[in-house]
Structure 1
Amino acid sequence: MDKITTFDTIKQYCAFNKQGVLHPQIALVDLSLADPRKLQRMQFNFYLVFLKEIRCGDLRYGCNTYDYDEGTLVFLAPGQVIGQAGDVVYQPIGRALAFHPDFLLGTALAGSMEEYSFFSYEANEALHLAERERRLIEDCLIKVGAELKQGVDRHTKRLLISHLQLFLNYCIRFYDRQFITRTNVNQGVLTKFELLLGEYFRSGRAEKEGLPSVSYFADRLHLSPNYFGDLIKKETGKSPQDHLQLKLIRIAKEHLHDPHKNISEVAYSLGFKHPQHFTRLFKKVVGVTPVEYRKLS
């Protein structure tokens, strides 16, 4: 297995890219200052956002190389690994905003990082900025850089957190725009999801393998679970889990009209290990138990 170069601290990453450290827990790194280097696998134990400034193919994720357009943002959560070892030598270009999870401790941002689900997207689900959007992102980065150059005082953390949160909130807005502008692609994903849902239950897999997970469908559609979930929610207003539950209930109602099936048989055929879990979900969604529904119908 290829060796993985691991970065635990911001200082290590800055040194790797040939620049000094202005703050031990957050940095704006100019990748063009780094020495040319060979392809390698790298792991970052902090948050990292790449801003690609020219069209290039030097960023690899897993076994793939992605040619990003100018003004593309790629997000990495702590612990993620990118790259692949190889003999190709390249000059890194662009900038990287790096910040350690410890920097967020004691702030409201620490408790809301899960809202920024794009940190768990795959690299091929990057954010592609329009020119106007890029100017706003550039302004946020300029403010971060200017504050770092001020030197650390009692106001530093509050101001940097404020700039960082604004940056991330803009990214949420721009991802929403990207979901909208890719509506034809999104509709295709939604249609395939509905087909996969129907196929899973019609084929009898539910009874053999249990209830399907959202990750199962995301994998079949070649999307990360977070991106898949956000895409479906933006397109329909409902989460994939909501769609899954509604599909379950529709099929359950069909089965309940069959007088030869008891409630336990219906539950097992849908993938429930315990009939009482099926009864609980059915009542939550429909308002009555399966037994009561059968009597009413």
Structure 2
Amino acid sequence: MGAAHTTTTAQSPPFRSRPRDGNSWKRILARWQLYALLVPPLVYLALFKYIPMYGVQIAFRQFLPSKGMTGSDWVGWRQFDRFFHSNDFWTVMNNTIGLSFYHLLANFPFPILLALSLHYVANKRFKKTVQMVTYAPHFISVVVLVGIVMQVLDPRVGIVNHVLERFGAEPVNFMGKAGLFQSIYVWSGVWQHVGFSCIIYLAALSGIDPALHEAAVVDGASKIRRMWHIDLPGIMPIAVILLILNVGNMLDTGFEKVLLMQNPLNQQTSEVIDTYVYKVVFQSVAVNYSYASAIGLFKSCVNLVLLVAVNQIARKLKTTSLW
């Protein structure tokens, strides 16, 4: 037996890697349909992401449309210094960071919880109904959403105040209280986007090996144990990637929704970078494009620093990272 085994092993041909075709263009032309799918996103990136970076120099100039981009006077860091030393700088930064952090903490766990809950629903009709009900608000426009929020929270005709009056409480002007603005903004966003955001987690859960659950059921594991030891580790790489991307957009709070919900009574806590730029720059007599570009560049740099920092932390913790 040993001799026969030795003979068979000796006669087996050595493994040879398949020789590579030196002509890469032939391989590309043979699969041109797949490469053609890359053209639209590459064109989009070039037109709307990379070519506009040429205009970043406006932030370092006193831009005048009559002189053009390169003909305008170079002023260096003057526009940034103006923003950093403005009276509203710390108020705007505190509101932006506080609102963004609150939004991240509230919006990150709920899609995961909803996906885990739907994953274990046995009744398919009930599951589809819940999915439809939770997905639908995502397609409501921001203007309609803010209108719904204002009607629901109206101190005279709002259903919330009618319920409070039933219990003997006084009507509350929710939109007029500065301390409630962030909570109204964040939780209305959770209601609108939680169903749509859980789609990617449902897709990740469907990719987990069913044999792991079968073995856990045989061992007597409950659903909570299976969620904790099988489902959560299975979707954790996706969750980490989404968390890193969300942190990379930390200062992008959403201009339209904040502006529509803003009023003089809650402006103390609702004034963020985007609305500040709109009011100071574009509602003034002379539009200052350089000042707006400087603030936008500063916001992008902060987002980039946060993205790199969180990605490095993820790498040090030996979890999934972007690079």
| TM-score, length-scaled by structure 1 | 0.24
Structure showing greater radius of gyration is: 2
More strand by share: 1
Greater RCO (Cα-Cα under 8 Å, separation 6 or more): 2
More helix by share: 2
